[in-house]
């Protein structure tokens, strides 16, 4: 069984940067990703059979990503693509490659950069065909050049609420409207963001460019409005949106309905904390970075020995921070394994530390300006499906909330969270319902016990006939 100096889980910006940097300093590195190509969400490559012809069309990020991926592919890092992580135990990552049986990758150091996923928001009609997340829409156009519809409406919040529609529109999508739940940035917020801008000018330029694109393409964008429902029989035919107060609660009587055939929902992201939780890494709660996030020191070390984290899976901070943190963690790991001196470490790290702190400041300012408000959890009505895997409606959940403050109990009684998505779609909503019902901050609601596998895996790939009960049970009594 091979032991790697470093195993990296997740081939997005953070993971690629970390793996490439570590390899450059002489470490034996493996990188694991579930997709067939590297790049993560932001640097997602075009699908098989597609070719990039015009740089303008795909945007600047694409080439930044290509550069980073090339750096990795020209290194000696061992790639494990189309590979899922089953679990992590005894300093080994149990992986399952496409179609093959599970195997173990032993590591001296582990870096987890699993990325984030779209925040699911439950509102009447959110499970109708034609309603998709912003991330899914982005993947569709990036990899397959498919637009999600011919009349696309975009509801969301955050800096990407501008970027996604602009990007989609750049691909030729017909966007009929955009609503942003947060208010138009006021003078204070704008100032705070501006103060953080020093060293982040290119990001501001991007934002301005998106804004300009939307204006010049006459795409109507309104602030302080939220999605109320997606309407239609077999698929979305129209959407209703309404004005909200400062807590994003709907102001009755302000509803408007628009005919659409696709609705993209983008209210930010949740970090994928599953693997950190499985390893029992210490977490903290910060709403503006996506809720429960792993605690990291300045180098990216978690509270568990030899385990590091980087990227949006450790709290939403964007690709620039992700790359800087990935490189910083890799340098620290190289130093800990004696590949570079402490002096070299501080020299090499200086530039990345600067980027990390500047970008973090900027990202904080942005995140705070667009922090999610509790009204987002109050859109569902009694008949709204909360757990879409198990088809559990709000009306079945409400009575259970009377008797418990533990989401695991809600899960046990209603099956909410037992399905294929492993609770990713409904657990935050359940926590919010409990928090609201019992007057407890959402940050203090316990989460279901972490269990493997972190993604569904076929039994045939897990099965190992060499593990027999005779061999395995030392003492059955």
| Residues in touch with another protein (CB under 8 A) | 86-87, 89, 94, 102, 390-392, 396, 399-400, 402-406, 408-409, 412-415, 418-420, 422, 438, 449, 451-453, 456-460, 462-465, 467-469, 472-473, 477
From the CB of 305, what's the least distance to another protein, in Å?
Answer: 17
User: Which lies closer to another protein via its Cβ, residue 193 or residue 457?
Assistant: 457
User: Which lies closer to another protein via its Cβ, residue 77 or residue 410?
Assistant: 410
User: Which lies closer to another protein via its Cβ, residue 100 or residue 245?
Assistant: 100
* Beta strands 3-9 and 29-32, pairing class: parallel
Q: How many Cα neighbours within 13 Å face the side chain of 297?
A: 11
From the CB of 407, what's the least distance to another protein, in Å?
Answer: 11
User: Which lies closer to another protein via its Cβ, residue 139 or residue 422?
Assistant: 422
* Beta strands 92-97 and 83-89, pairing class: antiparallel
User: Which lies closer to another protein via its Cβ, residue 78 or residue 406?
Assistant: 406
User: Which lies closer to another protein via its Cβ, residue 69 or residue 112?
Assistant: 112
Taking a C-beta distance cutoff of 8 angstroms, is the pair 326, 111 a contact?
yes
Task: Report the run of H or E that residue 161 belongs to, with start and end.
Answer: helix 160-170
* Dist CA 379 CA 267 (whole Å): 13
From the CB of 33, what's the least distance to another protein, in Å?
Answer: 19
Task: Report the run of H or E that residue 94 belongs to, with start and end.
Answer: strand 92-97
Greatest CA separation for the chain:
75
Its sign, for the CA torsion 360, 364, 365, 366, is: positive
From the CB of 404, what's the least distance to another protein, in Å?
Answer: 5
From the CB of 82, what's the least distance to another protein, in Å?
Answer: 15
From the CB of 391, what's the least distance to another protein, in Å?
Answer: 6
Task: Report the run of H or E that residue 459 belongs to, with start and end.
Answer: helix 459-462
Q: Give the residue ranges of DSSP H helices in 337-393.
A: 342-369
User: Pick from 321, 397, 391: which is nearest to 362 by CA?
Assistant: 321
């Amino acid at each position: 069984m091979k032991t790697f100096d470093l195993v990296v889980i997740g081939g997005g910006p953070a993971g690629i940067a970390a793996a490439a940097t570590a390899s450059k300093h002489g470490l034996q590195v493996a990188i694991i990703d579930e997709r067939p190509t590297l790049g993560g969400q932001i640097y997602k490559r075009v699908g098989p059979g597609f070719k990039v012809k015009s740089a303008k069309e795909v945007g600047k990020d694409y080439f930044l990503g290509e550069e980073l991926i090339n750096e990795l592919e020209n290194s000696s890092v061992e790639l494990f693509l189309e590979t899922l992580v089953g679990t992590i135990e005894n300093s080994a990552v149990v992986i399952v490659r496409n179609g093959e049986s599970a195997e173990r990758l032993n590591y001296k150091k582990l870096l987890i950069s699993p990325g984030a996923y779209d925040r699911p928001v439950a509102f009447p009609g959110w499970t109708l065909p034609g309603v998709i997340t912003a991330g899914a829409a982005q993947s569709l156009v990036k990899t397959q050049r498919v637009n999600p519809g011919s009349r696309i409406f975009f509801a969301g919040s955050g800096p990407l609420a501008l970027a996604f529609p602009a990007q989609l529109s750049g691909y030729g999508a017909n966007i009929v409207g955009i609503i942003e739940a947060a208010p138009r940035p006021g003078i204070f917020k704008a100032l705070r963001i501006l103060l953080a801008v020093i060293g982040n000018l290119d990001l501001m330029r991007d934002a301005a460019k998106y804004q300009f694109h939307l204006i010049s393409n006459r795409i109507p964008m309104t602030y302080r409005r939220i999605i109320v429902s997606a309407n239609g029989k077999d698929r979305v035919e129209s959407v209703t949106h309404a004005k909200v107060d400062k807590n994003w609660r709907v102001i009755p009587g302000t509803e408007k309905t628009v005919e659409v055939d696709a609705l993209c929902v983008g209210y930010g992201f949740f970090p994928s904390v599953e693997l950190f939780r499985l390893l029992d890494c210490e977490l903290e709660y910060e709403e503006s970075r996506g809720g429960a996030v792993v605690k990291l020191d300045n180098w990216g070390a978690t509270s568990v020995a030899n385990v590091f984290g980087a990227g949006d899976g450790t709290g939403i901070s964007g690709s620039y921070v992700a790359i800087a943190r990935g490189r910083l963690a890799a340098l620290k790991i190289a130093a800990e394994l004696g590949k570079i001196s402490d002096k070299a470490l501080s020299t090499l790290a200086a530039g990345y530390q600067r980027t990390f702190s500047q970008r973090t400041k900027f990202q904080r300012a942005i995140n705070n300006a667009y922090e999610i408000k509790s009204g987002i959890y109050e859109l569902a009505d009694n008949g709204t499906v909360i757990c879409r895997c198990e088809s559990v409606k709000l009306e079945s959940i409400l009575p259970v909330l009377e008797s418990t403050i533990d989401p695991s109990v809600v899960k046990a009684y209603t099956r909410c969270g037992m399905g294929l998505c492993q609770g990713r779609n409904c657990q935050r909503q359940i926590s919010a319902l409990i928090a609201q019902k019992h007057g407890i901050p959402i940050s203090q609601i316990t989460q279901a016990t972490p269990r493997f596998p972190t993604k569904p895996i076929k039994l045939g790939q897990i099965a190992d006939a060499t593990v027999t009960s005779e061999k395995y049970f030392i003492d059955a009594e």
